Amino acid sequence: MSALRAAGAIMARELARFLTQRERFFAALVRPLVWLVVFAAGFRAALGLSIIPPYRTYITYETYIAPGLCGMILLFSAMQSSLSLVNDRESGTMRLMLTAPWPRWFLLGAKLVAGALVGLLQVAAFLGIAYAYGIHLPPLGYVAALPAVVLSGLMLGALGLFLSARIRQLENFAGVMNFVIFPMFFLSSALYPIWKMQESSPVLALLCKLNPFTHAVELIRFALYRQLEPLSLAVVAGATAVFFALALWGFEPARTRPPKRD
């Protein structure tokens, strides 16, 4: 019971922080909605897509990129969580939490689950707005996609945990945006099918296939049509374990000391 109270307190703190930061919530929705409403028309005309395999159903381009934009929300939410962890470490809050009488994996796991729940709330809000806009997915697909969204959020959150262990100052977060978030997003199947990219650049297509974010998007995309993509599931689960192990290593006491200031 005490373990549950400790985990609940960590998750309640993260949720309360998110709910009180309304600008963060609206910013998380504006970005994918701009892609959905504004950029989708141009991409659809350029790609000329109407029927997209291997989903075995007729889908428009807007329907195709909706899962990719869900992945975008989870990715940016995970990076925002990592930014808050850097701030907590600089203020001493993170160090205080890690001195609690609980295993480090338990405390970081609670932070990870809390971040995934925050991402899930943002994805649910986005899908609701997309439905009102006219992006209608199979009704049972929303339920089937729930585990895929949570698992993808855990993978990206674990990556954010690891990055927060390596980022020493808030000023360095801009580098994360340029060298982690944008390459992961654009070198994926979030906005365009890999088989279309294969026609123009086999090298970039290979990088997309190796990108774990691609598999997170495909896992959500297939789940929305009540299909399971075994390869994507294995990659996302494996990447989650690897990133979380790296985060545990990064948050060893000798590595969590605040940086010296001149």
Q: Quote the strand ranges of the chain, DSSP E.
A: none
Give the model's pLDDT for residue 12: 78
Which tokens is 109 given?
């796991």
Model confidence pLDDT, tens digit, residues 165-212: 777 666 666 666 677 888 899 899 888 888 777 877 888 889 999 999
For 51, the 3-state DSSP assignment is strand
Query: What is the distance between the alpha carbons of residues 230 and 72, in angstroms, rounded to a whole number?
Result: 22
ω before 138 within 30° of 0 (cis)? no
For 58, the 3-state DSSP assignment is strand
Model confidence pLDDT, tens digit, residues 137-150: 888 989 999 999 99
Domain residue limits, the chain = 2-255
For the four alpha carbons of 180, 21, 148 and 70, in that order, the dihedral sign comes to negative
Give the model's pLDDT for residue 241: 94
Model confidence pLDDT, tens digit, residues 161-175: 888 877 766 666 666
Residue 253: CB atoms within 10 A of its CB come to 10
Which tokens is 173 given?
């977060």
Matching residue, tokens 């929305």: 224
Contact 123, 221 (CB under 8 A): no
* Cα dihedral 202→156→136→186 (10° resolution): -30
Q: How confident is the model at residue 94 (pLDDT cuts 50, 70, 90)?
A: low
Backbone conformation region of residue 257, classed left if phi is above 0, alpha if psi is from -120 to 50, else beta: beta
Mean pLDDT of 208-222: 93
Matching residue, tokens 């373990």: 3
Q: How confident is the model at residue 70 (pLDDT cuts 50, 70, 90)?
A: very high
For the four alpha carbons of 214, 190, 185 and 155, in that order, the dihedral sign comes to negative
Q: How confident is the model at residue 51 (pLDDT cuts 50, 70, 90)?
A: very low
Give the model's pLDDT for residue 50: 56
Contact 73, 122 (CB under 8 A): yes
